[in-house]
Structure 1
Amino acid sequence: MSESDGPGLSLGQQYAATMPSARVHGVGDMRVDQVPVPEVGPRDVLVRISATGVCGSDLGYVAAGGLGGGAPLIEPLPIGHEFAGIVEKVGEQVSGIRPGQRCAVNPDAGLIGGGGPAGAFAPFILIPDARAGADICPIPDSLPLEKAALAEPLSVGLHGVNIGRVQPGDKVVILGAGPIGLCTIICLRRRGVEDILVADLSDARLERARQLGAAVMVNPSREPLVEAVGKAHGTGERFGMPYVGSDVIIDAAGAQPPLAELLDVAKFRARIVIVALHKKPMPINLWKMMANEFSISGSIATDREDEFNECLQMLASGDIDVDPLISHRVEFAQLDEAFRIAADTDASAKVIVTFPQTA
């Protein structure tokens, strides 16, 4: 395929040589800088971004002044990795992708918005060495681009579900009803799981969990967590130790106390999946882990091409209502406001940043 511009106009005629891009410069310091519009090489694709979701990771990068972990920030860090848009320009050696194609982009290969050279809080993004269906994932006209941007967080939830080997008849606990917890509910319901208990300290978030299909909502500030889980999933005793009947526990909260409570009563061969980011080490009773043969697995959701495309297919099918997941839509010109809203866990779920579309 030969290199091609968008309809009727050259790139230079359609927009200036620079564009705004959100980048982290230090602790609490996010700026919208002017950067060059990327040049398209023979194996690259330029995407005009339509919608980008604000992720908790984005908030964390701003708060930490970088990727975290103590690594110093050598140069500004572009952020934004949950996005969808329209193919603007295609390199001459790229096959299976054409200008004007609507798509969601899997950010894994280029570490987009997570340490790589590009982020999706910008009008355009370059996808190097672009592969159809792996990086650039076409979507049907019937799927709104803002919903296609949900494929990334949904695939995080789906990866955790797969790590936990969840089956339709399982009894599942989700700790945390933030965006990833809510995405996990959607993926569980898609798999046919009905017995889902969600715990969170925010009643507003629990209401979103109910709307998305959770069966039991628990606010541990009002009701003891272990008691509530035992009431919903049953209880028993093994080696003189009490347990609750949950088959799978998915931690999407990153708070030690509730996780520790449930580890203390995990049943024989329960599967525990850690999706959340824990900022501090926590002790684990290895005797109980040995005696009850429960497993603890991490889930970081990389190398998830199949899961990303499965989530796009789910979104396109319309079988699961994801509308309660999107709480706000904010224009890119008001990016600071979008981040302020996303940081308010009671008021928001998934905040979508939208970009003006031109012919």
Structure 2
Amino acid sequence: MGDPVTMRLARVHGVGDMRIDEVPVPAVGPRDVLVRIGATGICGSDLGYIAAGGLGGGAPLAEPLPIGHEFAGVVEQVGGQVRGIRPGQRCAVNPDAGLIGGGGPSGAFAPFILVPDARPGVDICPIPDSLPLERAALAEPLSVGLHGLNIGRVQPEDKVVVLGAGPIGLCTVICLRHRGVRDIVIADLSDARLDRARRLGAAVTVNPSRESLTDAIGRAHGTGERFGMPFIGSDVIIDAAGAQQALGELLDVAKFRARVVIVALHKKPMPVNLWKMMANEFSISGSIATDREDEFNECLKMLADGEVDVEPLISHRVDFSRLGEAFRIAADTEASAKVIVTF
């Protein structure tokens, strides 16, 4: 038996329309690498692409959109001009350069994927034999969290609030622990998610449907008054929820020189009290993880070292043959955290 000529690939064809298409196995060019995929995580953006029928923004698809960008596997084939990468090498793939699963021609819900113009340590990041592929696939969402911490200049002694205990909020907690932060408060409307956050190392959990968000954070991080207005003592506020009411409430009580980082995807504009921002000199920064090979590799090293237990992050493992079921599980955010598709 020779190598397979075709393979199955998940692609978005329109609004709510994801199909498993039979496509040719990609041909490897001189600077490309073909990876045999072992595990791919489902991201909220994958669900968003399916719901929107594309990348969003309303433009119709010129051709079906391949999805899947959180993955790890084994190098299958290497182009003649590629140096420093060999067949059989276990790796996680940084999807940034090739727009893998995010507008580029390839996606990782497939048994094979082509990584164009592959560079060792930048696109193809080697991993030790001791690191399971399904954990290595977590490097991508973890590096989103780590990038947000770097944007917010987080220090070990900082008091940090994370809004949202979905996969990126949980990844942020893991990265905070990795960076030596202990004073972590996380807020979410789901008790199941908050339980995962506690197991990953959050010190205090808050469910704003049952108690005041500001009061609970104030008890944990302290409170004060400036210009006659109350503030909470959090040094850094990381928005991984995209819930405007919660974010607005915390901006209203942000302390002098607090750093606010927006990692969440906000679908609509929201008003900000610029007078308070000026008077309290707090900063609001956006964080979209690109140009992150250093953070990606730092997360792989963290995973390989096993310094933070990431197992509570993975809620389900589902075989590629049951991909539709895997997406249904991932869409139930109360019952799932990170769903890993295995091959």
Task: Please state which band the TM-score falls in when normalised by the shorter chain.
Answer: over 0.9
Q: 1:309 aligns with which of 271, 284, 297?
A: 297
| TM-score, scaled to structure 2 | 0.99
1:299 counterpart = 2:283: no
Q: In 1, Cα distance between the equivalents of 2:164 and 2:79?
A: 43
Report SS of the residue matched to 1:57.
helix
Q: In 1, Cα distance between the equivalents of 2:282 and 2:61?
A: 39
1:182 counterpart = 2:146: no
Q: What is the deviation of 1:69?
A: 1.7
Q: In 2, Cα distance between the equivalents of 1:299 and 1:254?
A: 13
Q: In 1, Cα distance between the equivalents of 2:201 and 2:59?
A: 40
Q: In 1, Cα distance between the equivalents of 2:325 and 2:287?
A: 30
Counterpart in 1 of 2:40?
Answer: 52
Q: 4+ runs of 1 displaced by more than 4 Å?
A: none
Q: In 1, Cα distance between the equivalents of 2:24 and 2:244?
A: 43
> Where does structure 1 lack aligned partners over 5 or more consecutive residues?
1-11
Q: In 2, Cα distance between the equivalents of 1:44 and 1:26?
A: 30
Q: In 2, Cα distance between the equivalents of 1:75 and 1:198?
A: 40
Q: What is the deviation of 1:139?
A: 0.4
Q: 1:151 aligns with which of 127, 139, 143?
A: 139
Counterpart in 2 of 1:271?
Answer: 259
Q: In 2, Cα distance between the equivalents of 1:330 and 1:168?
A: 36
> Where does structure 2 lack aligned partners over 5 or more consecutive residues?
none
RMSD: 0.6
Counterpart in 1 of 2:228?
Answer: 240
Q: 2:2 aligns with which of 13, 25, 31?
A: 13
Counterpart in 2 of 1:337?
Answer: 325
1:91 counterpart = 2:72: no
1:326 counterpart = 2:326: no
Counterpart in 2 of 1:9?
Answer: none
Q: In 2, Cα distance between the equivalents of 1:237 and 1:73?
A: 52
Question: Residue deviations 1:214-252, cap 9 Å, x none?
Answer: 000000000010111111111111111110000000000
Q: In 2, Cα distance between the equivalents of 1:256 and 1:71?
A: 26
Q: What is the deviation of 1:14?
A: 2.6
Counterpart in 2 of 1:110?
Answer: 98
Report SS of the residue matched to 1:13.
coil
| TM-score, scaled to structure 1 | 0.95
**What letter corresponds to residue 295 of structure 2 in structure 1?**
E
Q: What is the deviation of 1:71?
A: 2.2
Counterpart in 2 of 1:32?
Answer: 20
Q: In 2, Cα distance between the equivalents of 1:246 and 1:268?
A: 10
**What letter corresponds to residue 107 of structure 1 in structure 2?**
P
Counterpart in 1 of 2:213?
Answer: 225
Counterpart in 2 of 1:350?
Answer: 338
Q: What is the deviation of 1:73?
A: 1.4
Tell me the number of residue pairs that the alignment of Structure 1 and Structure 2 aligns: 343
Percent identity among equivalent residues?
84
Q: What is the deviation of 1:70?
A: 2.0
Counterpart in 1 of 2:157?
Answer: 169
Q: In 1, Cα distance between the equivalents of 2:71 and 2:25?
A: 18
Q: In 2, Cα distance between the equivalents of 1:292 and 1:135?
A: 41
Question: Residue deviations 1:264-306, cap 9 Å, x none?
Answer: 0000000000000000000000000000000000000001010
Question: Residue deviations 1:33-84, cap 9 Å, x none?
Answer: 0111000011110000000000000000000100012222111000000000
Question: Residue deviations 1:198-218, cap 9 Å, x none?
Answer: 000000000000000000000
Q: In 2, Cα distance between the equivalents of 1:25 and 1:342?
A: 20
Q: In 1, Cα distance between the equivalents of 2:56 and 2:243?
A: 18
Question: Residue deviations 1:128-183, cap 9 Å, x none?
Answer: 11001100001000000000000000000000010000000000000000000000
Q: In 2, Cα distance between the equivalents of 1:91 and 1:354?
A: 26
Q: In 1, Cα distance between the equivalents of 2:32 and 2:53?
A: 30
Counterpart in 2 of 1:120?
Answer: 108
Q: What is the deviation of 1:349?
A: 0.4
Report SS of the residue matched to 2:2.
helix
Report SS of the residue matched to 2:278.
helix
Q: In 2, Cα distance between the equivalents of 1:202 and 1:117?
A: 36
